[in-house]
Amino acid sequence: MGEEMNTQPKKKVMVVEDEESVRELMCDIYVTGGYDVEAAANGLEGLKLYEKFQPDIVITDIKMPEMDGITMARELRKTYPKVKVIFVTGWFQEEAISKQLNIELRQCPKYRLIQKPFKIETVWRMTDEYLEEQM
């Protein structure tokens, strides 16, 4: 018990990814990195989970059923203007997604982008640096 009092609370990460294997991998990466992690399978689930979990940062895929990651980020921003988002995608080459993402990143230049495939160290470093930034 005394040990827990001396440590800072874990940073909370919400992973939103429709592919179960990738979602589990992302969760494992963050748990291994010492984060408290919750996950959702699409943007709609992500909106509900954000309300409950109140994460410090959102890691989201872009192309998903029900609601894509960009739409979810826009919806979250309406209520939580300082939400921190990292988009993870392998679809950056697709023109429609690329256009949407560029618009979103111009509106929110602090948002980040990680392209699949990625290195675990890159994910941790980007997340840590982003969490330290003041919004």
Tell me if residue 125 falls in helix, strand or coil.
helix
pLDDT, mean of residues 53-71: 95
9-127 CATH pick, 3.40.50.2300, 3.30.70.100, 3.40.640.10, 2.60.40.1180: 3.40.50.2300
pLDDT at 3: 47
pLDDT digits (tens, 9 = 90+) for 14-39: 999 999 999 999 999 999 999 999 99
**CA atoms within 13 Å, Cβ hemisphere of 73:** 31
Residue 58 near residue 85 (C-beta atoms within 8 A):
yes
57 forms beta bridges with 13
Query: If pLDDT is split at 50, 70 and 90, which confidence band does 6 have?
Result: very low
* Domain residue extents for the chain: 9-127
- Tell me: pLDDT of 64 over 60: yes
> What whole-number distance in Å separates Cα of residue 98 and Cα of residue 31?
30
* Tokens of residue 63, six digits: 């192309």
Query: If pLDDT is split at 50, 70 and 90, which confidence band does 93 have?
Result: low
Most trustworthy range by pLDDT among 30-34, 56-60, 131-135: 56-60
Q: Strand ranges (DSSP E) for the chain?
A: 12-16, 36-40, 57-61, 85-89, 112-115
pLDDT at 15: 98
As a whole number, the mean pLDDT across the chain is 90
